[in-house]
Each structure stands twice: as C-alpha cells, then as structure tokens.
Structure 1
C-alpha cells in the first residue's frame, strides 16, 4: 500500500467536476450493519449538500460509494469534512472514540455524461452484487437523483 503522501502526489481537483469516491471503514469493520450508525453516516451526506451536489450514494456495511459534483471546496477537503463529522457523531452515539475510516480513499474523476450514468448505476447496484438484497428497493441505504 502506498503512503498517503504518494497517493496525493499529482492530484488536483476542479470546481464543478464530478467525482466518484469510495471511502472504506478502518480495517473494513462493518460499522454500518448497525442501523443507527448507518443513519448517522447518511445524515453526514445530507449535511455535505451545501458543499457538493450529490448525484447518488450507497452506504455498504463497511464502505461508502458516493458520486457528487464539487462546488467550491477541493475534493480532499470534502472527504475530510465528511469523515470528521461522521466520526464525531458515530463515536458520540456509541460512547467511543477513535477513527472509523481508513486514512485514504479511492476517487475517480468522471469525464463524460455516459461515465456519470454508468457510475451511478454501478453504485446503486452494489448491494445486489454483494448479495445483500435481491432487488435494489430492498436496500435502505442508497439514493440517486436519477431514480
């Protein structure tokens, strides 16, 4: 695994650009099997709406897929703020402390509208591929502006 500094080398983000990010929990712990913890993570996405335009998301038991358009904050600040607010609130709820997210995240800059639609479909179908449900509508922790 590369260090955080190496992963960030050469990264730059553009205002109004669309990004798909995947953020994993620390040690891939299935924190979001707990309904209340999952709801806290979703409320964090709602809180971030003044910083990004969310297109879709799916919160899996141990990671988040999130597709959004940047507004005026750089990508790393958006992810950092989301991780911070959710960590504080989940720790408060669970009477615990410490990080819940891995330090790094995966990101993909979308270049075309076709990429945007394909990525949204991929994100929404994640619970199906993981065999958590038989139909997308059965899974409670996702949303998409296209549906």
Structure 2
C-alpha cells in the first residue's frame, strides 16, 4: 500500500513568505497588499459590519503611522489594499497585528501570511487602482464597479 509523502523537517520555514524590506529602499513605497481569509471562497468579509471593522482597523493603523491609505477593496474572502508605506514600517508586524485584532474582534479566520507587491513606478499606480476597482466586476459580484459598497479611496 502506498504511503503519503512526508514533509521535510524545514517545510514550515520554506512556506513562509519573506516580507523584509530591501535595505536600499529608503523612500516611501506604494504597496499592493492582499490578505486572504480561510477557507477560500467563504464569504466572511462582505458584511457591512465586518467591512466597516476592516476599514476602521486600517484607519487605526494609519493613525499609528503604519501607512498612508490610498485604496482598499473588500471581497468575500480577501482584502486588497494600496498604501504608501514608510521605510520604518515593519509590514509583517503591522499586517499580523491587523489580522490578529480582526480575528479576535470579528472572528475572521485568516490564511497565514499575506502577499505584497511594491509598485516600482508611479505609472503602475493607476493600473493597480483600476485592478482593485474592477475586482468585484471580474468576480461577478457587481455589474458596475461603482455599485460595489466595499471599495474605498482616501
């Protein structure tokens, strides 16, 4: 009888995404962050109360100096955030704190870790902003991007 493959001893470490900021990056950078709920496909987030809690938590992090919010879209099972992030911000710590707070207060179950993409050029900002705006349309959740109640710009 075949046996299930075993995980190498260091599998946990290999599955973690690196979120260290390059030492040569000294100016604020614009980041696209994606935080996913678990299990994927479960609508935990598109409820007015939950979405408002996410928005307020993002603002709290901004007031603490973590980032300058630019745009956010809340989808049923994930959140996309565009933010200008100063070099002093430890993204891993901030996103972990955000997820921990929302998990405790709103009972949201999150996937471990998050995805980040630093925009290399300012001209990519408009394309990413439109990507966020159109996300509910592409997912079949809205006919028009302007109809989606969980998209915000600051």
Is 1:5 matched up with 2:13? yes
Which of 120-129 and 67-76 deviates more? 67-76
Q: Which residue of 2 aligns with 1:22?
A: 34
Contact 2:34 2:78 in 1 (8 A): yes
Match of 1:128 in 2: 137
- Counterparts of 1:85-100 in structure 2 under 5 Å? 85-91=101-107, 100=109
Identify if the C-alpha distance between structure 1 residues 104 and 125 changes in structure 2 by more than 3 Å, giving closer, same or farther: same
- 41, 47, 66: which one aligns with 2:81: 66
> Counterpart of 1:67 in 2: which secondary structure?
strand
For the residues of structure 1 that align with 2:68 and 2:12, how far apart are their CA atoms?
26
Aligned length: 136
Normalised by the length of structure 2, the TM-score is 0.78
The 2-side partners of 1:134 and 1:106 are apart by: 27
Residue of structure 2 equivalent to 1:41: 54
Relative to structure 1, the CA distance from residue 4 to residue 80 in structure 2 (aligned partners, 3 Å threshold; closer, same or farther) is farther
Moved more, 112-121 or 35-44: 35-44
Q: Which ranges of 4 or more aligned residues in structure 1 deviate by more than 2 Å?
A: 3-9
> Can you list the C-alpha shifts for 1:86-113, whole angstroms capped at 9, x where unaligned?
112203xxxxxxx611002111111101
Give unmatched runs, 5+ long, in structure 2.
Answer: 1-10
Aligned residue for 1:19, secondary structure, equals strand
**CA-atom RMSD, angstroms?**
2.0
Q: Highest Rg: 1 or 2?
A: 2
One of 74, 92, 107 as aligned partner of 1:76: 92
Deviation at 1:20, TM superposition (A): 0.5
